[in-house]
Structure 1
Amino acid sequence: MNLALTVLNITAPVFLLAAVGFFWVKLGFEYRVQFVTRMAMTLAVPCLIFVALMQTEIAPEALAALSLASFVAYAIVMLATFLVVRLVGLDSRTYLAPLIFGNTGNLGLPLALFAFGEVGLGYAVVVFAVMAILSFTVGIWMVAGAGSFKKVISEPLVAATLLGALFLWQGWETPEFLTNALELVGQMAIPMMLITLGVAVARLETAAMTQAVLLSVVKLVICGAAGWAAAVAFGLDPIAAGVLIVQVATPVAVTSYLIAEKYGADAQPVAGLVVASTLLSVIALPLILAFVI
């Protein structure tokens, strides 16, 4: 009973905020996703990442181990997903990237914060950064047939991660007034991302949901197993292991749909995956949290 209540306390704020965005759109109110997303990814999330890394008390060695474990986990997911897509005969341009990369920002960061506190958030931003780097390079190559290393370097969240890691390694801190300002801006990120997630899901049009549900279950099993295997292989501490498993197992990100639209892949099946996997996560993520806590 206590465990169930703990998991509910962790997950309820996440899905309630997403529900705010969902019903906001359904009631006919305006919500400019492009503006909010740009503000979140250009300003709020980089500030959140930088302050979280700068202030974390996690040993640099532990963060390095988690970074390597994250790359290995995603490598396992890529291999397993490639085999599934080939065996089933699906279009790799459409299905491969969405089944690999999850919503480590909108869902993963707040879940890590609510479940494991500030230490968990420090770990989560590392996994988020690894996913972002892979998504903007390998992920875009899967969809468009060309990588985008220049885009990775220009992403504010990548710069914030590298700068935060430098401050952590050197033991530096920004002046208190600047830290307070950055922290205040960063606090916008999580509610903005969750509400935007709900808005985006509410606006998606989907079809062929049976296939989307089955693929979402396959993605969840592969990603959860890969996260657990990488955590065990690198001997991560319980919090780092829990964060890695949760982050890798997050549902398909809305950005996968946007990338499919931009680069000419079949976007409607991706939209179905976003909706199906997000709805599945309402049940699956609490169960995963119950397992890792």
Structure 2
Amino acid sequence: MTWLFLSLMLVFYVGLGNSVSEASSTPLVVNGVLGESVTLPSKFPVKENISSITWLHNGNSVIFIWPKEAKLQVTAPKRKDQLNVIKSYSLQLNNLTMADVGHYRAQITTSTSSLYTDYNLQIFRRLSNLQVAHHTKRSENNTCEIQLTCSVENPNDNVSFRWQVAGNPFHSEANLSVSWDPKSLSEETYTCIAENPVSNLSFSVSDKSVCKGVINGKNEYLDIRWIIIVVVLTCIFFCILIFVQRKKVGFFQFSTQETQCPAETVCNLEYASFSSGNTVYAQVTHSNRETKLSKPVKNDDSTTIYSEVHHPQERKPIYSRTSAHHNVV
């Protein structure tokens, strides 16, 4: 009944012939955050004697104020804990829900006129969890082709996306296609900015970093140079190794030639026999190779050598050159 009485009073004031003027023809857009607070600012004529102030939501009165008596009445009981009048009789709405969206009006009644101001309240969620997905592939000309995509957790809250490079506007959509040439040795950073009327988020990626899986992070062409260097060094190493091996083979052949004479002497010895006495009988068979003898041997293929030796504790073989006669004491 109270809200009906207040409405009748408002009609009574207007019906006395007071003129009504519009404070603004275009509603003031106010953006609120879901679950937070928002204030609808009011404008009052300084020199006017204000009789009452009424706040309406979608044409329905929600609060009535008597400035002279410093009194107010919430005419929407369900919103009693949500509505609050602050300085200059502006209306504050707390714990915003999507049901609070809509048209608001502040109607001011003076002794001579009625003034009103219109508002359009919009409520949005704050953006969260901005992500940048990327897809890369290697092109035929050895460049890295990059597809970047921006996304947020709540994309339906009037979200817009744009890209910046070095702080300058670059692209105004969520998807971005760029390429990176490893031969340039340069790196560019791309920043995605997601925003709505109450919040904004940003996320940056570099073309060089996202191309690591396709082309080596530093430079593919530098890797090729390293491969060439390794191959050349390997070839040089093997050449040196072959040269050293050939030197060794030549040295061994020369050493073998120098030691042929002692070897022939050993080869000319066929066997040696020992007797139990002091006389040693040894028969040496000559090879077909020509040898120089101190004394020629006539018509014999072998030579018998007689030597007298004193036997030590252990018997040892005695080697003797052909046609030589040794007396061992």
Structure number having the greater strand percentage: 2
TM-score, structure 2 as length reference:
0.15
Kindly indicate whether structure 1 or structure 2 has the higher relative contact order, using CA contacts under 8 Å at least 6 residues apart: 1
Q: TM-score, normalised by structure 1?
A: 0.17
From the two aligned structures, give the one with the greater helix fraction: 1
Structure showing greater Rg: 2
